[in-house]
Amino acid sequence: MPRPLNPAALSHFGFLLLPNYSMIAVANAIEALRMANRCAGRAVYRWSLHAVGEAPVTASNGLSLGAVTAPESGPAPDILFVCGGLDVRSAVGRPVLAALRRAARAGTPLGALCTGTFALAAAGLLDEYRCAVHWEDMPAMRAEFPDIELVNELFVLDRNRLTCTGGTGPLDMMLALIEARLGRNVAEHVRAIFVLDRIRPSAERQPLDKDDRGHAGQPMLARAMVMIEARLGEKQILGEIAGELGISLRQLQRLFRAHVGESPAAFIRARRLKRAQGMLQSLRVPVTDVAMACGFGSSTHFASAYHDYFGHPPRAERRPGGIA
């Protein structure tokens, strides 16, 4: 059994930068540590940047960070975060996978920011772990890595793995780690300096898209959407969802029409097709498998619905590069 990670013991954070990594995710993580040192009045935390192969590594915004070394150079960090971003599949070659496996064998706890979760999964280092990844990549990763429990949470600590979504999610994660080591007052001081309205807990859901974000004032509707998202691969789900919400199917239909402007069936169809689009763009699996994974009974029905919704057939989505 791997030894559980103690958040209060972390002081040296390593960041393994993959090509096209998300600068905002890395910057949020590092800036939280820098500000914690300032608020504590001493150098509690330090960080190091690493790369496999040539350095510096260019982020997805075209910028790069300096002082990058190989993962094996210098003392091992208390935790090594893999930092991903756009087109992560092409960034995760054999050298990166080998470096991650060496770190795991050496007993270094591993984490991930944004699509860095894909790198750990591809290395076989997340099997039977709960983990987080940016919501855009959840459908493709669920299909490719069935032994991983992907959850729609901002960040997840499971034993010796700490995975986090992109964007501002790493800032929330670091605030939680700062609180574990330095206490709530220091974490709140960092929050206030960064002009954040609150510290979000790890289990807080990611907003999936504009449909999900727009209904925060309708908790019943928000719960229904979460349940729909989790069951898109199942055929008949509306009756079960209404029952679990404690309302009738007619009440559920009225709720959607009043606040979404369409029936729940139409909403589910659109969500299934959008998930299918992401899988087609990210995975090299047969179209029939995508259709079944997204709750369509046949590839013919799927192709017809897809063309009606997007204006082109499913096969037109095939493009090089893998997960973006």
pLDDT for residue 252: 92
pLDDT-wise least confident of 3-17, 22-36, 176-190, 268-282:
268-282
Say whether pTM exceeds 0.75.
Answer: no
Burial of 253 (0-12, 13-18, 19+ CB in 10 A): middle
Confidence at residue 26, expressed as pLDDT on a 0 to 100 scale: 97
Instruction: Please tell me the least confidently modeled range out of 13-17, 229-233, 241-245.
Output: 229-233
Lowest mean pLDDT, pick from 1-10, 25-34, 96-105, 242-251? 1-10
The number of C-alpha atoms within 13 Å of 129 and in the hemisphere containing its C-beta is 26
Picking from 120-124, 180-184, 201-205, which range would have the lowest pLDDT averaged per residue?
A: 201-205
At residue 322, the pLDDT reads 39
Higher pLDDT, 236 or 80: 80
State residue 60's pLDDT score: 93
- Residue 204, Cβ neighbours under 10 Å: how many? 15
In this structure, the number of other CB atoms found within 10 A of the CB of residue 252 comes to 21
Confidence at 324, pLDDT banded by 50, 70, 90: very low
Which one has a higher pLDDT value, 235 or 120?
120
- For residue 304, which phi and psi values (nearest 5 degrees)? -65, -45
d(CA 3, CA 7): 12
Question: What pLDDT, on a 0 to 100 scale, did the predictor assign at position 275?
Answer: 82
pLDDT at 105: 95
Identify the weakest region by mean pLDDT among 16-25, 33-42, 255-264: 255-264
Higher-pLDDT residue of 321 and 209 is 209
User: C-alpha 13: how far from its chain's center?
Assistant: 20
Q: What is the pLDDT of residue 214?
A: 47
CA dihedral over 291, 295, 299, 304, signed as positive or negative: negative
Mean per-residue pLDDT, 66-89? 89
307 has a pLDDT exceeding 50: yes
The rounded distance, in Å, linking the Cα atoms of 321 and 97 is: 18
pLDDT digits (tens, 9 = 90+) for 237-296: 898 899 999 999 999 999 888 887 788 998 899 888 888 887 787 666 789 988 988 889
Could you give the percent of the chain with pLDDT greater than 90? 53
Classified as helix, coil or strand, 131 is: strand
Indicate whether 213 pLDDT > 50. Answer: no
Whole-number pLDDT of residue 323: 40
Structure-block tokens of residue 101: 């496996």
- Range list of β-strands (E), the chain: 12-17, 46-50, 68-69, 79-83, 110-113, 130-131, 149-150, 155-158, 161-164
124-169: pLDDT as tens digits: 999 999 999 987 787 788 878 988 988 878 999 999 999 999 999 9
